[in-house]
Amino acid sequence: MLAFIIRRVAQMVPTLFGVMLLLFVLFNWVGGDPSYILAGKNLSPEALANIRHQLGLDLSLPQQFVIFVKQVLTLDFGTSWSTQQPVTSILHSRIGPSLLLTGSILLLGTVLAVVIAALVAYLRGSLTDRLVTLISTCAMSVSGLVYIIAGQYWLAHKAGLFPIMGWSDRIAENLLYYLPLPLLLGVVVGLAPDIRFYRSCFVEEMNHDYVRTARAKGLSEPVIMLKHVLRNAMIPVVTSLMMSLPYLMMGAMLLETFFSIPGMGKEVVMAVDRSDFPVIKAITIYIALATMLFNLLADIVYKLIDPRVELS
Amino acid sequence: MKTDTGLESDIVTPQPPPPLLSVRNLRVSFHDEHGHCVPALKGISFDIPAGRTVALVGESGSGKSVTAMAITRLLPAHGCQIDAGSEILFAGRNLLTASRRELRQLRGADIAMVFQDPMTSLNPVYTVGEQIIETLMLHTRVGRKAAYQRAVALLKEVGLPTPDLKMSSYPHQLSGGQQQRVMIAMAIACEPKLLIADEPTTALDVTIQQQILQLLASLQKKHGMAVLFISHDLELVGQFADEVVVMHHGTIREHAPVRQIFEAPQDVYTKALLCCRPHLSRRPARLPVIKDFLGEASYCEPPQRQRGYLPDDEVILEVQNLSVEYHSRHGWFGKKHCCQAVQDVSFKLMRGRTLGIVGESGSGKTTLGMTLMRLQAASAGRVLFAGHDMLAMSPRQLGDYKRRIQIVFQNPYASLNPRFSVAQILTEPMLLHGIGRDRAERLQLAGNWLERVGLSHQALGKYPHEFSGGQRQRIAIARCLTMHPDILICDESVSALDVSVQAQVLNLLQELQDELGLSYLFISHDLAVVKHLSDQVLVMQHGRCVEQGDADTLYAKPQHPYTRQLLEAIPQSWPHNFKPQVA
Amino acid sequence: MPSSNPLPLTVAPPSHNSLARQGWRRLRRDRIGFGSLCIVALYLLLAMAAWSGLLARHWQDEVAKPFAPPTLFANLGPQHVELNAADIDAANQRRRAAAGSDSSAATGLDASEDPLAADMAAAQQQAAQYHSEEAPKADTLPLGADQRGRDIRQKVLQGTATSLLVGLSGALLALTIGTVLGALSGYFGGLLDDLLMWGYSVFTSVPDMLLLLAFAAVSGRGIGTVVVVMALTSWTGSYRLMRAEFLKHKSREYVRAADAIGASHGRRMFHHILPNVSHLLLVQFSMLTVALIKYEAILSFLGFGVGITQVSLGAMLAEAPAELLQGYWWQMLTVTVVMSVLVTAFSLLTDSLRDALDPKVK
């Protein structure tokens, strides 16, 4: 197992290098000269030259890349171009709200989706199944934007059940007051595609031969479903769950923007709006690292729950 | 009935005990996607007496598996219809009208099933022991500990070594034969009255097949249970069945005690099944096919054919010390795996003759065929085709030689491109090798070859999925012939075909060899077929050639222990088998 | 050689039973699938009409009063009187008329106190020389009007056309990139595969939206940019699929047979294997289009998508929160219904395509 982990960590290095290369090409080459953005109203040649020197843009491209690599390795991305705060401290304060929001959406959403999907798969072919599938397809087609806009308007503005937007420093207040509406909307948006996916995992398992053997042994349908099929179907379900963990850090971008939740997602949107390159670069690197680590974790969990996979 | 004193008594003759299972007028039909009703069973009736083995034999599409699934009511709920007039009586109860609860109680406890593919029939995420214990705890009132002990005893009974260790193994950690033993253990766990075995040995190697059959036979005697054994291989069931039911297209052609079936079959289809298979003891110039038996005149066997290399034969292919290695690597930084598929194999193939290559799975025979076609890279050795070393040639030099050695693959369903029409399939090789002046001429030639292999030239416009397995194999042969090859490699080309179709294709191959002077490399695991077609035979085991020689001599006096083992594993049930008249 | 008397010249009779034909017949029989296909086709026709300028050419014209309600539901709009620019203009007009040419009186100031009196008098004299035709602004429109008085019907037609254009061309581009790279990767393996897999892992280690935004940050707005950006971030799904398929098919017997008869690599890849995976490509294309239409909506909503002078479904949705707050619901409803019907039809079509084209070769 240890050898496997070491090998996978070694594989991460070229990938991280690739991400850095991609970001560098995007922001230092395609992105062009940002000195005009930072200069603001003062466009004198000396000011521009000064800014370029500060950012290291007067160096050659390869030299700039080396500086970037150093930044990534020390996790020090300089200061934000719009707020002049150190990027790292900005990000560290944003991770918390994002985790709270997406973590709770993931938890609640997955539990609901798995339960409904298992029920629907058990009843497959029946009217209930077809109805739920149809409703899910229609529900999926409505853009998430519409759910959020409508939800915010009717439930918060008109009905006054929830606050329209906001966030606080205290976890308790967040959990009870500010979180429920974005949580509800996030779960609703993600429910339909999840139900469809999990249902297909279950149905696929139910078509395997070992289900026929279980019936031939005289087991009843509920027992077959709960004991045999579920255990096998959990493998793709858990794997897919682990693969969506990296998105925890990203935060639900739209939800954060609408509800003014100070998370990573909102930070990215604001940074793109203001062309704040250091923040965008830093967030991307962080998320890429998290994705790679979570993928490794997903593989380990997968090997633990599926006995067919050999640890090689 | 005479008593021991020899006096006739006026005691009423006791009736024979009622049969354990009685199938009456079973009619099953399926609905295809167009909504048409396709009948699978057309009203069959037979009995299974208690404690006896009944074999259900038929080719694919005969309805034998459907019968087994109908008995245990495991047919799919949708798209399947059982006629109301059908009855399946088990110990007096009609299974077709039994409630779900009753069925669940019967399944596993009174009627148990063993399926064909043990790898997929066992749940991969539970240990073997867990699955056996589940059956025990469901139907018998034992606690967990007692169930565990009983499971270990069962594994021992079915012949698994180290049963305690095996209890905590997962299915994928066992071999195919061991998995099937586990399935059998699960089936007999609750001492069923009837065991239904649906092609239990078809997916296994020849030597393992024998072991499983003997296990089933001994278990049947020991527990006194009735066995319904389903198979496509009549010779195989002859070894341990008491009665045989021969099925064809959903009807029963013949149902008789096993001796009668083999020595004096009444139905023409049974006769055909018995004779179509190549036998080790005789080699007619042409194998009989079902059509021969359906005609008015009774079939007369043509004279025997002599085989063997003659001294003045010309060598067309010579292989010297051929070795093939596989390398695989896991990911970017993984370990390398090295596997020796073929080691140091040498042989000669004469023009117009057949060399048979025999071995079980993993022997390297298929890799050998692939390497000769240059579809797989060799790691050492020489292959001399008409004097030139094919392995040393560059792809450009290889051009013409590639055309002259062709291959017919095993799986008729996979070797033809499903998106191409037959015309495209046959004209493509001609296009690539510059045969035929234009499209019209190529189509003409393609039509001629189709007629030559026994299909109508109307087939040109059709697609592969519209043909049966045997017909597809003919199209594959025609595709090879369009290039006028010298050598044809048949890689298990008839193994996936039914017995009667197999005979047709073997006859076709023989005719083509006689007429066109083709040389064959015939690769197969089926020793009887190899003996029928080959002049010389090469036996492979674990990549090495263990024995090589003249076909008749090798089969009569095998030298190597592995060859002897293979020959002993061939089903040889009845010495006085029905034989057709000799012309 | 085959028999000496050749048969009459054979021409391959046309077959109506290829797998593609069978798939089409299955789709026709599936009522939901065929219905979805018709709806999608209808949308495409309307979109093409809008692209070519046959319809909705003048969507930018402000033909109605701002926030004119839909004709049938005029009573469901905000009931209280809202002062909008037109009303203020009208009131000013009346005051000016009453005050005569004395512009200062209109403002309520004395002529001597009004610093702009002289300028205004001069401007009024100049303006009197010109006469502008202004069509009277409509009070209600069938689907209502937006903040600037533009007809929602025309806007939504043009917007759907833009979204469809972006979705279809983005999907096509992403699919092409992914297929070519995946085919090369799966078929040839080795170093090329390693290199392309490295690229794949780089692109997939960043979540979709983030990558999209990163690209959007350095590119401008506009339809062309959006298409390119979305293609560059969505090729990974097709790559992975095609790589797996080509890898699987490469060792299938019909490809080995093609090798045996002498077909080159290129012929094997595109003549033999590609037709066997084309049904997957069709399904993938459908799925990608849906995904990209949704992504485009989000991008345009956030302000990074299509340009200011262009309209798309997302851009229309961007105006929705502010409108809703004031009680104007018609633009959002129209966009939601139009977009949902399109995406539902596409999704159902994708499902039906998958069922119809699955070649269960016996």
Question: What confidence tens digit (pLDDT) does each residue in B120-168 have?
Answer: 899 998 999 999 999 999 998 889 999 999 999 999 999 998 998 989 9
B26: left (phi over 0), alpha (psi -120 to 50) or beta: beta
The CA-atom distances, in angstroms, between C300 and each of A30, A57, B542, C308, C341 are: 21, 31, 64, 10, 20
Query: CB distance from B420 to chain A under 8 Å?
Result: no
Query: Residue ranges of the domains in chain C?
Result: 19-60+150-356, 85-129
- In the prediction, which pLDDT does B373 show? 85
Residue B329: DSSP 8-state: E
Chains linked to B by 3 or more Cβ pairs within 8 Å: A, C
Residues 193-222 of C with CB under 8 A from A: 198-199, 201-207, 209-211, 213-219
Higher pLDDT, C336 or B396: C336
- The rounded mean pLDDT for chain B is 86
Closest chain A C-alpha to C40 CA, distance in angstroms:
14
- Lowest-confidence segment of B324-328, B349-353, B355-359, C55-59 by average pLDDT: C55-59
Arithmetic mean of pLDDT, B370-386: 87
Arithmetic mean of pLDDT, B344-366: 90
B54: left (phi over 0), alpha (psi -120 to 50) or beta: beta
Residue of C10, C17, C19 with shortest CB distance to B443: C10
- In the prediction, which pLDDT does A150 show? 87
Query: CB distance from A312 to chain B under 8 Å?
Result: yes
- Lowest-confidence segment of B203-212, B402-411, C41-50 by average pLDDT: B203-212
- In the prediction, which pLDDT does C15 show? 63
Query: CB distance from C12 to chain B under 8 Å?
Result: yes
CB–CB contact B124 A307 (8 Å): yes
Residue range C236-252, pLDDT digits in tens: 999 999 999 999 999 88
Q: Is the pLDDT of residue B332 over 60?
A: no
Which chain B residues are closer than 8 Å to A215 by Cβ?
Answer: 74, 107
Q: Is the pLDDT of residue C77 over 80?
A: no
CB–CB contact A15 C202 (8 Å): yes
Q: How many CB atoms lie within 10 A of CB A89?
A: 11
- In the prediction, which pLDDT does C212 show? 85
Arithmetic mean of pLDDT, C114-131: 78
Residue range C23-34, pLDDT digits in tens: 888 888 888 889
Going by C-alpha positions, the residue among C236, C247, C245 that lies closest to residue C193 is C247
Residue range B511-561, pLDDT digits in tens: 999 999 999 999 998 888 999 999 999 999 998 999 999 888 888 888 999
- In the prediction, which pLDDT does C60 show? 78
pLDDT over 70, % of chain B = 93
Q: Is the pLDDT of residue C139 over 80?
A: no
Residue of C11, C26, C272 with shortest CB distance to B417: C272
CB–CB contact A287 C207 (8 Å): yes
Closest chain B C-alpha to A200 CA, distance in angstroms:
19
pLDDT band (50, 70, 90) for residue C5: very low
- In the prediction, which pLDDT does B581 show? 63
- In the prediction, which pLDDT does C11 show? 56
Q: Is the pLDDT of residue C7 over 50?
A: no
Q: Which two tokens stand for residue B249?
A: 């297209």
- In the prediction, which pLDDT does B505 show? 92
Query: CB distance from B112 to chain A under 8 Å?
Result: yes
3-state secondary structure of A60: coil
Q: Is the pLDDT of residue B1 over 50?
A: no
Which is the CATH superfamily of the domain at A87-305? MetI-like (1.10.3720.10)
- In the prediction, which pLDDT does B195 show? 94
Which chain C residues are closer than 8 Å to A254 by Cβ?
Answer: 298
pLDDT winner (highest mean) among A20-29, A285-294, C176-185, C269-278: C176-185
- In the prediction, which pLDDT does B185 show? 94
3-state secondary structure of C337: helix
3-state secondary structure of C111: coil
Query: Residue ranges of the domains in chain B?
Result: 315-582
Which chain C residues are closer than 8 Å to B479 by Cβ?
Answer: 257, 261
Which chain B residues are closer than 8 Å to A307 by Cβ?
Answer: 124-125, 170, 172
Residues 6+ apart with CB under 8 A from A195: A113, A116, A117, A120, A132, A136
Query: CB distance from B138 to chain A under 8 Å?
Result: yes
Which amino acid does the sequence have at B268?
V
pLDDT winner (highest mean) among A51-55, B65-69, C116-120, C307-311: B65-69
Closest chain B C-alpha to C154 CA, distance in angstroms:
44
CB–CB contact A213 B333 (8 Å): no
CB–CB contact B120 A312 (8 Å): no
Residue of B109, B121, B330 with shortest CB distance to A218: B109
Q: Is the pLDDT of residue B14 over 90?
A: no
Query: CB distance from B333 to chain A under 8 Å?
Result: yes
Residue in B closest to A304 by C-alpha? B125
Spans of chain A below 70 pLDDT: 32, 36-42, 249-251, 310-312
The CA-atom distances, in angstroms, between B493 and each of B455, B503, B534, B555, C258 are: 18, 12, 14, 22, 17
User: Are the CB atoms for C85 and C66 separated by under 8 Å?
Assistant: yes
- In the prediction, which pLDDT does B334 show? 59
CB–CB contact B138 A232 (8 Å): no
Q: Which H helix or E strand runs over A203? A: helix A180-206
Which is the CATH superfamily of the domain at B315-582? P-loop containing nucleotide triphosphate hydrolases (3.40.50.300)
The CATH number given to C19-60+150-356 is 1.10.3720.10
Arithmetic mean of pLDDT, C300-320: 84
Query: Residue ranges of the domains in chain A?
Result: 2-74, 87-305
Q: Which two tokens stand for residue B287?
A: 């194998």
Arithmetic mean of pLDDT, C262-270: 89
Residues 215-244 of A with CB under 8 A from B: 215-220, 228, 231-232, 235
pLDDT winner (highest mean) among A156-165, B171-180, B571-580, C169-178: C169-178
CB–CB contact C276 B417 (8 Å): yes
- In the prediction, which pLDDT does C217 show? 83
φ, ψ at A59 (rounded to 5°): -85, 165
The CA-atom distances, in angstroms, between B98 and each of A213, A214, B25, B75, B103 are: 20, 19, 17, 15, 6
pTM: 0.83
B519-524 and B487-491 strand pairing: parallel
Q: Is the pLDDT of residue C102 over 70?
A: no
pLDDT band (50, 70, 90) for residue B6: very low
- Lowest-confidence segment of A239-248, B26-35, B228-237, B370-379 by average pLDDT: A239-248
- In the prediction, which pLDDT does B333 show? 57
Q: Which two tokens stand for residue B466?
A: 């519209």
Arithmetic mean of pLDDT, B188-209: 89
- In the prediction, which pLDDT does C359 show? 46
Higher pLDDT, B223 or C360: B223
Total number of residues shown for chain B = 583
What are the helix (H) ranges across B204-277? 206-223, 234-237, 258-263, 268-276
Residues 6+ apart with CB under 8 A from C214: A23, A26, A272, A280, A284, C206
- In the prediction, which pLDDT does A90 show? 87
pLDDT band (50, 70, 90) for residue C150: confident
